[in-house]
Amino acid sequence: MGANELPMSVQQQLARLQQLQQTLSVLLAEKQKIQAELEEIKLAIEELSKSDENIIVYKAVGPVLVQTTKEKVLSELTEKRDLDDTRLKVIEKQESRTRAQIEGLQREIQSMLGGEKERQA
CATH number assigned to the domain comprising residue 103 = 1.10.287.370
- Domains of the chain: total: 1
Residue 59: CB partners within 8 Å, gap ≥ 6?
65, 66, 68, 73, 76
Mean pLDDT, contiguous 10-residue spans, the chain (121 residues): 73 96 98 98 95 91 95 96 98 98 95 72 52
Q: How far apart are CA 105 and CA 12, in angstroms?
A: 11
Distance, C-alpha 65 to centroid of its chain = 30
Q: How far apart are CA 113 and CA 92, in angstroms?
A: 31
* pTM of the shown model: 0.80
Domain that holds residue 11: 3-120
Query: Do the Cβ atoms of 58 and 68 come closer than 8 Å?
Result: yes
Give me the pLDDT at residue 119, please: 59
